[in-house]
Amino acid sequence: MHYSGSVYRPPSEAYSLIVQVTLGCSHNKCAFCNMYKDKPFSICPIDQVMEDLSWARNAYPRIERVFLADGDALILPTEHLLRILHYIREHYPECQRVAVYASPKSVLKKTPEELRTLHEAGLGIAYLGLETGNEALLKKINKGVTVAQQVEAGQKLKAAGITLSVTAINGLSGTVGWEDHAVDTAKALNAMCPDFIALLTLRIYTGTPMAQWVEEGSLSVPSPMELIRESKLLLEHLDCPGAVFRSNHASNYLVLAGTLNRDRERLIRECGEALRGEAPIRTFVELGR
Ligand code: SF4
């Protein structure tokens, strides 16, 4: 297999065959992110990708899931993606799902018909990083798209039948503006009604603009209790029937898991118990900070 630089995948793709179809992220400018700083963005030659798929078929007897890395597989021309998906369908008959990270810009460049065709060829799930539904904060972190574009991309993926998993970042606004971040993020999620919502917690990575903001004092990282207070406010405004809500990433202080809207009141109650000190939260040591 051709692997280049650091390779990332969502936690739920832990057992997937990872195939790099692009290197890096086509945007690579978000203020909090250090994922692909080690490599400039490029599209992997399609013949190399097909070679990797063929090699993996010979190497592994069962491949039930495939994750097409790196940061933005949907930027590939549709005919390249279809060639990859058709190969997987033909040569990996046991494969149940093909997944990608999807950048909103790449989703919006595809027509609804193209997305539908990709889904019918086996593209099962797309992971979209909303980060925040607050317009000013989205601009500040340099996400490169508007909230409306993020929402439209999510809706377009869902309309094509592709399972939609959306991440947002608890604490992204620091200790100032957290109410707007929580409420607006809930609104954007409600508009998309994803199948999965993953609430991560802000981590500050050395060398990023955000680390610089913390160093110069223009951003204060929220305390664990402030983060839980923000999660509670987000949950109070969420209205996404059927969405699986998870806040159980290694970065989260309070583990929350349930299906909306059915479990929303329980999740809000669990936040309240943690805020009152009636339920344990993870510590810095457990989180490895
Ligand atoms: S789009 Fe995603 S991978 Fe690219 S810089 Fe932003 S957060 Fe990082």
Per-residue confidence of the chain (289 residues) as pLDDT tens digits? 888 888 889 988 999 999 999 999 999 999 999 988 888 999 999 999 999 999 999 999 999 999 999 988 999 999 999 999 999 999 999 999 999 999 999 999 999 999 999 999 999 999 999 999 999 999 999 999 999 999 999 999 999 999 999 999 999 999 999 999 999 999 999 999 999 999 999 999 999 999 999 999 999 999 999 999 999 999 999 999 999 999 987 778 899 999 999 999 999 999 999 999 888 887 755 555 5
pLDDT of residue 128: 97
Buried b (16+ CB within 10 A) or exposed e, 23-35: bbbbbbebbbbbb
Across the strands, what pairs with 256?
247
pLDDT of residue 251: 77
Residue 192, token pair as written in the block: 């998309």
Going by alpha carbons, the residue nearest to atom 5 of ligand 1 is 28
pLDDT of residue 252: 82
Rg of the chain in Å (alpha carbons): 19
Q: Which atom of ligand 1 is nearest to the CA of 27?
A: 4
28 conformational bin, left if phi > 0, alpha if psi -120 to 50, beta if neither: left
Using CA atoms, how far apart are residues 105 and 231, in angstroms rounded to an integer? 28
The one-character DSSP state at 233 is H
User: Which of 201, 248, 247 lies closest to 223, judged by CA?
Assistant: 201
Going by alpha carbons, the residue nearest to atom 6 of ligand 1 is 30
Going by alpha carbons, the residue nearest to atom 4 of ligand 1 is 28
**In residues, how long is the chain?**
289
CA of 34 to the centre of ligand 1 (A): 8
pLDDT of residue 249: 78
Using CA atoms, how far apart are residues 20 and 4, in angstroms rounded to an integer? 8
CA distances from 95 to 20, 98, 180 (A): 17, 8, 42
Using CA atoms, how far apart are residues 143 and 134, in angstroms rounded to an integer? 11
Residue 249 near residue 11, CB atoms below 8 Å: yes
CA of 284 to the centre of ligand 1 (A): 25
CA of 91 to the centre of ligand 1 (A): 32
CA distances from 32 to 40, 201, 219, 220, 230 (A): 18, 11, 12, 14, 19
The position carrying tokens 């797309």 is: 126
pLDDT of residue 275: 94
Using CA atoms, how far apart are residues 25 and 42, in angstroms rounded to an integer? 8
Residue 3 near residue 20, CB atoms below 8 Å: yes
DSSP 84-96: HHHHHHHH-TT--
Using CA atoms, how far apart are residues 171 and 220, in angstroms rounded to an integer? 10
Using CA atoms, how far apart are residues 202 and 174, in angstroms rounded to an integer? 9
User: Which of 117, 189, 113 lies closest to 150, judged by CA?
Assistant: 189
Q: Which atom of ligand 1 is nearest to the CA of 143?
A: 6
CA of 5 to the centre of ligand 1 (A): 16
Residue 78 near residue 114, CB atoms below 8 Å: yes
The answer as to CATH 3.20.20.70 being correct for domain 11-287 is yes
Q: Read off the amino acid at residue 75.
A: I
Q: Which atom of ligand 1 is nearest to the CA of 129?
A: 2
Q: Which of 6, 26, 30, 34 to mutate to test the pocket of ligand 1 (most atoms within 8 A of CB)?
A: 30
Domain chopping of the chain, boundaries: 11-287
- Contact partners, residue 243, CB within 8 Å, separation at least 6: 189, 193, 194, 195, 196, 197, 259, 260
Q: Read off the amino acid at residue 60.
A: Y
Using CA atoms, how far apart are residues 4 and 71, in angstroms rounded to an integer? 13
pLDDT of residue 99: 98
pLDDT of residue 68: 97
Using CA atoms, how far apart are residues 11 and 280, in angstroms rounded to an integer? 23
Instruction: Name all residues whose Cβ lies below 6 A of ligand 1.
Output: 25, 27-30, 33, 35-36, 71, 103, 129
